Amino acid sequence: MIVEEFADGDSLIHRLDPRVKIIVAALFSTIVAVSDRFRVLLPALIIGLILIMLSAVPVKKLFMRLVPVNGFIIFLWLFLPFTFDGEPLFAVGPLVATNEGVYHATRITLKSNAIVVVLIALVASTPVFALGHALHELRIPNKIVHLFFFTYRYIHVMHREYLRLVNAMKIRNFRPATNIHTYRTFAYLVGMLLVKSHERAKRVYNAMLCRGFRGRLYSLSRFSLKSIDVISFILMLAVILGLAVLE
């Protein structure tokens, strides 16, 4: 259930230096998030789709990911067209939708999807451990990077523990419903997860001390900027600059 779906491909984008990908994705998201014009947002979405094609992400999986992202956007569509002042466009009963409202909602939809698509193409296509080391190289504080590694590593372990507990509940014929018994059971489930995590943390830390842990994690792979990294970095910077100028 918790898997890096897009990380294990082999494409031009998968082979790029993670540091380049993080910086480009961050700059791109920022520019798109602050821009407000269609002539920026449309090209941004197209650039995102081009990157997706380059990264050879399966289209079906991509759509599966875009559905929950757009849930919040659809929620906003229920309100925005009607709450903006401006030229009336159409009316549903007493509610009047305005041109400006529809424009604004469209802008948000474009922005959101452009950013998420680029995030999938560039960042989700990188293995989490490579990302962690890249963040370290980018001078993110050590403690955050370590916390990132530990949390990611143990999400899977805790998820397996969770599934085990849920299985035990099912075997005892637990059926969730809207009643006190259900809520109490879920509370115990959460409590048990925390207890298990605490006990495991103690064991893990002791095991790390036995192996000489002194507050540093070492990466076996070294990042090196190849010419393809530099070229794509400059190319993407130029594109982002172009978007900024358009705005």
Show contacts with other proteins in window 67-106 (CB under 8 A): 68-70, 72-73, 75-76, 78-80, 83-84, 101, 104
Q: How far is the CB of 1 from other proteins (least distance, A)?
A: 8
46 within 8 A of 40, measured Cβ to Cβ: no
* Options 25-33, 52-60, 227-235, 237-245: segment touching other proteins (CB under 8 A): 25-33
The whole-angstrom separation of Cα 26 and Cα 29 is 5
Q: How far is the CB of 96 from other proteins (least distance, A)?
A: 13
Q: How far is the CB of 59 from other proteins (least distance, A)?
A: 15
Sign of CA pseudo-dihedral 132, 136, 138, 142: positive
Residue 238, Ramachandran bin (φ over 0: left; ψ between -120 and 50: alpha; else beta):
alpha
Q: How far is the CB of 227 from other proteins (least distance, A)?
A: 27
DSSP summary character for residue 182: H
14 lines the binding site for other proteins (CB under 8 A): no
154 lines the binding site for other proteins (CB under 8 A): yes
Using CB under 8 A, which of 51, 52, 97, 115 touches other proteins?
115
Query: How many residues touch other proteins (CB under 8 A)?
Result: 86
Using CB under 8 A, which of 15, 61, 153, 181 touches other proteins?
153
204 lines the binding site for other proteins (CB under 8 A): yes
Using CB under 8 A, which of 157, 168, 234, 235 touches other proteins?
157
If you write DSSP's letter for every residue of 228-239 in order, what string do you get? HHHHHHHHHHHH
* Alpha-carbon torsion angle 10, 12, 13, 15, nearest 10: 70
Q: How far is the CB of 226 from other proteins (least distance, A)?
A: 24
Using CB under 8 A, which of 90, 183, 228, 235 touches other proteins?
183
Nearest to 48 by CA among 65, 61, 63, 29: 29
201 lines the binding site for other proteins (CB under 8 A): yes
What SS3 state is found at 202? Answer: helix
38 lines the binding site for other proteins (CB under 8 A): no
Residues comprising the chain, all counted: 247
* Options 11-19, 200-208, 219-227, 232-240: segment touching other proteins (CB under 8 A): 200-208
Between the alpha carbon of residue 171 and those of residues 168, 175, 183, 223, 225, the distances in Å are 5, 10, 18, 49, 54
What residues contact 64, with CB distance under 8 A and at least 6 apart?
A: none
What residues contact 88, with CB distance under 8 A and at least 6 apart?
A: 96, 97, 98, 99
* Options 11-19, 47-55, 187-195, 231-239: segment touching other proteins (CB under 8 A): 187-195
Q: How far is the CB of 12 from other proteins (least distance, A)?
A: 20
115 within 8 A of 33, measured Cβ to Cβ: yes
46 lines the binding site for other proteins (CB under 8 A): no
